[in-house]
Amino acid sequence: MIDLSLLRENPDLFRASQRARQADVELVDRILEADASRRQAISEFESLRAEQKAASKDIGRLAGAAKKDPSQQGAFEQAKAQAAQLAGQVKEAEARAEQAQREQDELTSRMENLIIDGVPTGGEEDFEVVKTVGQPRDFEAEGFAPRDHLEIGEIVDGIDMARGAKVSGARFYFLKGHVARLEQALLSMALDYASRRGFTMLTTPTLVRPETMAGTGFNVKHDDEIYRLERDDLYLVGTSEVAIAGYHADEIIDLSDGPLKYLGWSTCYRREAGSAGKDTRGIIRVHQFNKAEMFVYARVEDAEAMHAQMLAWEEEMLGLCELSYRVIDTAAGDLGSSAARKFDCEAWVPTQGTYRELTSTSNCTTYQARRLNIRERTPEGAEGKKGGTRMVATLNGTLATTRWLVAILETHQQADGSVRIPEALRPYLGGLEVIPAVREAGSR
């Protein structure tokens, strides 16, 4: 949720943000109008309520006077009638104020987060490349054509799409043997890596309530990516970010010793609505996958530095996997509602001849915390006066996920279809250096 006081003070800032996102600029003015109506309705209610309180005092005084002097009975009855009429007006004014609040809340819930200065304007294709790291492997110089990850997975008997589809439908799969172990090794390495950097591991729920999903910034009514269990009114998460964001909902947390850092370990689910015909081969775009997700609660003034640090950690993990990659600054229109800025790390996928997203890290500033009411205490003021509270910033970033297998298998494949395991992962696989081919690789 946006900072409404900042919007009142500087609506042009929000108009520019909406314009950069290619979103509804007029929404800013509708929120301002709703806010003015809400404040007017509250003022009318409070004024009538004050009159009602004064009238109640008059009734008490006139009741006492009427007992002593029967001639005051008429004034007493008239005051009671006026008070009854006023009570009806107060009730109506209160209803108008509540309705105005609901209308404003509905509009503000649709407003996306205010972007950070420097975020590229535009849509999905308008990102800016921050840097490129590593040189894609030259398979031609090595004398063989690369196979895609699914063919490699079949050669090493590690990916079974056919039985996944038989059991659960399209875009489901089985990982087997060494490839299944490789996924676990990758996630375990991410856990160890994060633990050494002060993260606390959380095994998170994969089903959450609608208020938790909405609090994170997802539109549960209109987001076709989300799986819903209607009977229980619960939602399957597409990232453990959702559960961890709700972990401290309605709490005042202590950031005096620095940010709170969690690593969520979970299975994730996405419907992949609208992706018909895209990445149907293999495990690039699937309905279910596993992920290790960083989530950080930080002070507002520390958020951008924390964001840069999280990006650096993602890059180190990619380096440990010996992958070539690039970092992009995502354009405003491709951020998602909660992110104020997002960097993606895209690894080179040899058979596609392009970079594909493996990680992203987002600075959500106070947007999620406002929706979920997560605050920290401010320092005590002068003369020992008690401090107040303020919203915190939230950040998230992927440290490892199933999709990484695509880049690892293709980048480190060998001519016979076997796969060389990156050195950093070998201790998590009992020292295994190569995933062997179990059937002869076909010619390309």
* pLDDT, tens only, 17-45: 999 999 999 999 999 999 899 888 889 88
Token pair belonging to 148: 């895609």
Residue 443 is predicted with a pLDDT of: 40
Is there a binding annotation on residue 128?
no
CA distance 227 to 271: 6
Active site residues: 270, 285, 357, 360, 403
pLDDT at 226 over 50: yes
Show the tokens assigned to 126: 């308008």
- The verdict on whether residue 39 carries a ligand-binding annotation is no
Query: Is 219 annotated among the ligand-binding residues?
Result: no
Q: Which residues have C-beta within 8 Å of that of residue 32, sequence separation ≥ 6? A: 7, 8, 11
| Residue 276 phi, psi (nearest 5) | -55, 130
Structure tokens at 336: 């998602």
The answer to whether the annotation marks 270 as part of a ligand binding site is yes
Name the fold adopted by 4-110.
Helix Hairpins (1.10.287)
pLDDT at 384 over 60: no
Q: Is 425 annotated as a binding residue?
A: no
DSSP secondary structure, 87-105, as one string: HHHHHHHHHHHHHHHHHHH
Q: Is the dihedral of CA 5, 9, 15, 21 positive or negative?
A: negative
Q: Distance between CA 81 and CA 369 in Å, rounded? A: 47
3-class SS of residue 254: coil
Is the domain covering 128-435 a CATH 3.40.190.10 domain? Answer: no
Q: In this model, does residue 444 exceed pLDDT 50?
A: no
Specify the pLDDT at position 275. 65
For residue 188, which amino acid is it? S
Structure tokens, 38? 């809400």
The domain segmentation of the chain, as residue ranges, is 4-110, 128-435
Question: Do the Cβ atoms of 318 and 334 come closer than 8 Å?
Answer: no
C-beta of residue 364 within 8 angstroms of C-beta of residue 371: no
CA pair distance 300, 355, nearest whole angstrom: 32
Render pLDDT for 398-431 as a digit per residue (tens, 0 to 9): 999 999 999 999 999 999 999 999 999 999 999 9
**Rounded to an integer, what distance in angstroms lies between the CA atom of residue 290 and that of residue 211?**
24
